[in-house]
Chain A
Amino acid sequence: MVMHALDRKLLRDFFRLWAQVLAISMVLACGVAALLTSFGMYQALGDSRDAYYGRNRLADLWAPARRAPMSLLPEIAAIPGIRTAEARTEGMVMLDLPGREEVAVGQILSLPASGEPLLNLPILRSGRLPDPDAEAEVAVNEPFALANGYRPGDRFSANLNGARRELTITGTVLSPEFIYALGPGALMPDKEGFAVIWMPERAVQAAFDMSGAFNSVTIALYAGASEAEVIDRLDALLDPYGGTGAYGRDRQISDSFVSSEMDQLWTMTVVLPPIFFGVAAFLVNMVLGRIVALERSEIGLLKALGYSNTAIAMHYLMLAGLTAVVGILVGWGFGAWMAHGLATLYADFFNFPYLIFRGSWTVYAISGLIGLGSAAFGALRVALKAARLPPAVAMQPPAPPRFRRGLIDRIMARLRLSQPAMMILRNLVRWPIRAAASALGLSMAVAVLAAASFFDDALDKMLDTTFGLANRQDVVLMFTEDLPEISLDELRSLPGAMQIEGQLSEAVILRNGHLEKHTGIEARRPDSDLSRVVTDAGRVTAVAPGGLVLTERLAEQLGLAIGDPVEVEFLSGRRETVSLPLHATIPQYIGLGAYADFETLNAIRRQAPRVSVANVTIDEAHRAEFHRALNEMPALAGTAMLTDMLRSFKDTIQKNIDITATVYIVIAVLITVGVTYNGARIQLSERARELASLRILGFSRGEVSFILVGETMVLALLAQPFGWLAGMGIAWAFTQGVTSDLYEIPFVIVPSTFARASLIVLVTALVSALIVRRRIDRLDLVAVMKTRE
């Protein structure tokens, strides 16, 4: 097949304009890649989660209790709306792992005598499930086994309700309940130090003294059943047995984290790609507009030759289309690579048995179509304008652009600007929309950078407040039951323990009218030095007796203002309800905390001072002995190693932030190059005659270059404040999209973040403009003046 001459022109133009095409394609590629990564991952995560939950029958409700008789189970199962109710026994245990200095924590779940549970079915990854009759056989979650190098047949010991037991691993499993396996008090999953342990029912009941009883029910509902109604009836049934309130998937830790990650991906999908597609559309519009201006006579000629308007419009649309195709292909490649990287990253945090990329071809199709669409959107007006050029007019050179004397000129006259400076400013004023759009594009580059670095700033603030001010203990020791405060004295003999402070925690429901929230109240002595309440201004404050201090988010969710009474229902012991006034609110970035005075809370509970948790600082030199001693402590349900946790959290997050920051710098550089390189090329093309004339008149290369580079840099400078504003907007949108009950990202950007973003964009803009500037050196003065425009 012989290629049509017009198509050949198209291809040659395409290759001739490679640098500009490439600059646009790369911006478009960022959009496609961002969409592919965020939306693709959002879909993959959602699909995998749904499939996993469905196949392995994740429960709809969880109802913990203190100790309920097995005879209660049929009554629970008879609640209308419940399809399956399964009882089990759970408990926290301290683990002594061979070769590990620190104590580890395990969450024990009973396996029914029949073998596999009906709900929350674990997937066997290696070995077998424990024999229902065995006393010391367990299955453990796969990440824990892999992190510690355990295989079926390996053993470790656990402190089961005060008795030390050797346990044999028979198999490793994954469970839909523990996609995100977070230990007590942990910030992020600690694969080595937190185990989920499945043990036969009989052995668990024997160990925890729960024969004929259970302390947890998992429930599957019929489709259409009212979750709230079932929860009400469940709570009523379990209330006499120490029920602490049934909850749905929204309060299940693992699912909350998966959902929160999906929310973040969705926010990314909505915020980022539109920026790239918008900038790409503008660039296509700007470059194609110039090409059409340059090819006026060729368009006229084509029309004179009898080419139809449609053929001409298509010709230019195809040029944009080819550019889009390059961008889309690169974006697909780049996006697939990033999605792979993200999936690897997720594998670190989320334990899925499989990731389903089922919908992936639709994501490719959608991102491709949007890419083509944005190029077409940018090209359409220009292509139509080309098509509508009357042939006779198209054959004439365009009238010189009309410059008018206006306010700006009077200002410039006042400022006694040089002629080159006037040329720069007049040109900007002459094409205000183009100038504004270029500045907007550059401001987006600044915004993307500022918004990306914002995470670093926010994280610093988050960790400073949470650990530097509010929680300064090294270790949190959690007791199986509340202990008299006096028993803290025994802990003082722990080797290496320096400071020890007690804290009382109570599970409660806080209410204001019809609004309610499950949470915990913490109370400490007012002179506590380790765990403290920190106010807005970063000051440490004691909670005044007789009232509550709530996190701002919690108060907001409950619709409470300072001074309002809060109804507090205690979920343990005598389940009384009291009313306390809201004394103050504090910002708190992790969790939804509520705080009361130590004496006040004990008085309400009508008890001599008791503590649920001890906050401890340790002497690093005696670390090993400290941990060895913990292994021998009977009343310990768990530990949280705050200092270690913070260190590994910082390492992991810092690594991710570094990767993300690099990606965003690349993205910002591509946007900046796209806008400035194309802008300068167009300027040079429009002004070649002008600039050549100046050279003939005796201007030096430097003076002429100043005009070209100057205009680019004026635009880049103008873009900065808007970029800062837009960056704050994006960061704010992120904080809003990501905030959940689990955490809140503080909205802080430090000035150096803006400075760095501006510096990167300004330097990139300057380099791009200087690359184009080299063409001034090659300007053939005679030839430029001879040919007609």
Chain B
Amino acid sequence: MAPPVFRTENLTKVYDTGKVKVHALAGVDLELYEGELTVLLGPSGSGKSTLLNILGGLDTATSGRVWFRDLELTGMGDRQLTAYRRDHVGFVFQFYNLVASLTARENVQLVTDVSKHPMRPAEALALVGLEPRLDHFPAELSGGEQQRVAIARAIAKRPEVLLCDEPTGALDSKTGVQVLEALQRVNDELGTATVVITHNAMIRKMAHRVLRFQDGRISSVETNDTRLAPSEIEW
């Protein structure tokens, strides 16, 4: 088996709102591996997004430890986390978060400007099938196209991990499938460890592994022996 990309030990995140303490993560131990496509399932508030944010260096844990390869993320300062995100991590969000005033190509360029060995923006956009739409602004693209720009933007720096929070959440099934195809292609061709959060249980069928979350804990882990292609998934 490939070496783990991420490893966590008793990872805990508590949100203190003053009156009540919310345990978003209540001691999570897991390992995620190179080249693996993992799907995280679970109801709202079960801790999936919190985990993803901590793995991606957007948030810090209350207690417990987390490593990216040999690099321990827990205890890192803002500056180190910024460098970590810039060098290793790609993000895809439910609401695309494209910069409205930049074209597709320029949105990708946002990443290539600050990374060490990036693809050309056009190359990254080709990988998600958007060569013809290079110079369109977000407002001129469909939701699915926008999300694929977001994926191109995430992978343009050749990240070692790709973290996706509800990438198809705002899309209908047809455009959703296009996005999933782009994700799978990146995972296959670049070997990028990919973590996908979804509410859509059908998507689990394209994963190598599926982790289910409940109340801040992993409630079950299942491994798919046979994976479905995105085009075979319907919702």
A binds B: yes
A residues apposed to B, CB below 8 Å: 4-6, 8-9, 12-13, 16, 297-298, 300-309, 390-392, 395, 788
Contact of B106 among A8, A13, A308 (CB under 8 A): A8
Contact of B59 among A8, A301, A307, A392 (CB under 8 A): A392
- With A5-B107, A8-B106, A309-B82 given, is the CB distance from A301 to B99 under 8 Å? yes
Separation in Å of the A630 CB from the closest CB of chain B?
79
The list of the 3 closest CB pairs from A to B, nearest first, reads A306-B86, A12-B101, A5-B109
**How far apart are the CA atoms of A304 and B56 in the complex, in Å?**
8
Contact B109 A392 (CB under 8 A): no
Within 8 Å CB of A8, what residues of B?
Answer: 101-102, 106
Q: Is B113 an interface residue (CB 8 A)?
A: yes
Separation in Å of the B200 CB from the closest CB of chain A?
19
Within 8 Å CB of A306, what residues of B?
Answer: 82-83, 85-87, 89, 114-115
Contact B59 A303 (CB under 8 A): no
Chain B residue at minimum C-beta to C-beta distance from A397: B95
Q: What sequence of 0s and 1s flags, for each residue 100-125 of chain B, a beta carbon within 8 Å of any chain A beta carbon?
A: 01100011011101110000000000
Q: A5-B113, A8-B102, A305-B153 are in contact. List 18 more A-B contacts (CB 8 A).
A: A5-B99, A5-B102, A5-B106, A5-B110, A9-B102, A297-B95, A298-B97, A301-B91, A303-B82, A304-B56, A304-B89, A305-B91, A305-B111, A306-B86, A306-B115, A307-B114, A391-B85, A395-B93
Within 8 Å CB of B83, what residues of A?
Answer: 306
Q: What sequence of 0s and 1s flags, for each residue 130-157 of chain B, a beta carbon within 8 Å of any chain A beta carbon?
A: 0000000000000000000000010000
Chain A residue at minimum C-beta to C-beta distance from B111: A305
**How far apart are the CA atoms of A699 and B118 in the complex, in Å?**
52
Contact B101 A300 (CB under 8 A): no
**How far apart are the CA atoms of A308 and B87 in the complex, in Å?**
12
**How far apart are the CA atoms of A641 and B114 in the complex, in Å?**
79
- With A13-B101, A392-B58, A395-B58 given, is the CB distance from A304 to B110 under 8 Å? no
Separation in Å of the A397 CB from the closest CB of chain B?
9
**How far apart are the CA atoms of A80 and B110 in the complex, in Å?**
78
Contact A298 B99 (CB under 8 A): yes
Q: Is B175 an interface residue (CB 8 A)?
A: no
**How far apart are the CA atoms of A308 and B85 in the complex, in Å?**
10
**How far apart are the CA atoms of A392 and B53 in the complex, in Å?**
7
Contact B97 A297 (CB under 8 A): yes
Contact A307 B101 (CB under 8 A): no
Contact A303 B85 (CB under 8 A): yes
Q: Is B79 an interface residue (CB 8 A)?
A: yes
Q: Is B78 an interface residue (CB 8 A)?
A: yes
Separation in Å of the A685 CB from the closest CB of chain B?
14
Within 8 Å CB of B82, what residues of A?
Answer: 303, 306-309
Within 8 Å CB of A302, what residues of B?
Answer: 110
Contact A301 B97 (CB under 8 A): yes
**How far apart are the CA atoms of A304 and B157 in the complex, in Å?**
13
Contact of B58 among A4, A9, A297, A304 (CB under 8 A): A304
**How far apart are the CA atoms of A307 and B111 in the complex, in Å?**
9
Within 8 Å CB of B78, what residues of A?
Answer: 309
Chain A residue at minimum C-beta to C-beta distance from B93: A395
Contact B58 A6 (CB under 8 A): no
Chain A residue at minimum C-beta to C-beta distance from B82: A308
Contact A305 B86 (CB under 8 A): yes
Chain A residue at minimum C-beta to C-beta distance from B85: A306
**How far apart are the CA atoms of A305 and B110 in the complex, in Å?**
8
A306, A391, A788: which has the most chain B beta carbons within 10 Å? Answer: A306
Contact A303 B107 (CB under 8 A): no
Chain B residue at minimum C-beta to C-beta distance from A311: B114
Contact A308 B79 (CB under 8 A): yes
**How far apart are the CA atoms of A305 and B101 in the complex, in Å?**
17
Chain A residue at minimum C-beta to C-beta distance from B110: A5
Contact B114 A300 (CB under 8 A): no
**How far apart are the CA atoms of A6 and B87 in the complex, in Å?**
18
Within 8 Å CB of B101, what residues of A?
Answer: 8-9, 12-13, 16
Q: What sequence of 0s and 1s flags, for each residue 60-102 of chain B, a beta carbon within 8 Å of any chain A beta carbon?
A: 0000000000000000001100110111010101010101011
Ordered by A's residue number, 26 sampled pairs between the chains whose C-beta atoms are within 8 Å are A5-B99, A5-B107, A5-B110, A8-B106, A9-B99, A9-B102, A12-B101, A16-B101, A298-B99, A302-B110, A304-B56, A304-B58, A305-B85, A305-B110, A305-B111, A306-B85, A306-B87, A306-B89, A306-B115, A307-B86, A309-B82, A390-B58, A391-B53, A391-B85, A392-B58, A395-B93
**How far apart are the CA atoms of A302 and B153 in the complex, in Å?**
11
**How far apart are the CA atoms of A645 and B78 in the complex, in Å?**
75
Chain A residue at minimum C-beta to C-beta distance from B52: A392
**How far apart are the CA atoms of A301 and B100 in the complex, in Å?**
12
Contact of B97 among A13, A309, A395 (CB under 8 A): A395
- With A4-B113, A6-B113, A308-B79 given, is the CB distance from A12 to B102 under 8 Å? yes
Chain B residue at minimum C-beta to C-beta distance from A4: B113
**How far apart are the CA atoms of A203 and B181 in the complex, in Å?**
110
Contact A300 B109 (CB under 8 A): no
Separation in Å of the B10 CB from the closest CB of chain A?
21
Contact A788 B58 (CB under 8 A): no
Within 8 Å CB of B86, what residues of A?
Answer: 305-307
**How far apart are the CA atoms of A788 and B97 in the complex, in Å?**
11
Within 8 Å CB of B113, what residues of A?
Answer: 4-6
Separation in Å of the B15 CB from the closest CB of chain A?
11
**How far apart are the CA atoms of A298 and B85 in the complex, in Å?**
16
Within 8 Å CB of B102, what residues of A?
Answer: 5, 8-9, 12
B58, B79, B109, B111: which has the most chain A beta carbons within 10 Å? Answer: B58
**How far apart are the CA atoms of A106 and B57 in the complex, in Å?**
88
**How far apart are the CA atoms of A392 and B52 in the complex, in Å?**
10
Contact B110 A390 (CB under 8 A): no
**How far apart are the CA atoms of A6 and B99 in the complex, in Å?**
10
Within 8 Å CB of A16, what residues of B?
Answer: 101
**How far apart are the CA atoms of A303 and B111 in the complex, in Å?**
11
Within 8 Å CB of A300, what residues of B?
Answer: 58, 97
**How far apart are the CA atoms of A391 and B56 in the complex, in Å?**
10
**How far apart are the CA atoms of A309 and B81 in the complex, in Å?**
11
Contact of A304 among B91, B99, B107 (CB under 8 A): B91
Separation in Å of the A561 CB from the closest CB of chain B?
66
**How far apart are the CA atoms of A410 and B33 in the complex, in Å?**
61
Separation in Å of the A396 CB from the closest CB of chain B?
10
Separation in Å of the B136 CB from the closest CB of chain A?
14
**How far apart are the CA atoms of A5 and B103 in the complex, in Å?**
9
Contact A6 B59 (CB under 8 A): no
**How far apart are the CA atoms of A6 and B101 in the complex, in Å?**
10
**How far apart are the CA atoms of A300 and B79 in the complex, in Å?**
15
**How far apart are the CA atoms of A660 and B119 in the complex, in Å?**
61
**How far apart are the CA atoms of A308 and B99 in the complex, in Å?**
17
Within 8 Å CB of A6, what residues of B?
Answer: 110, 113
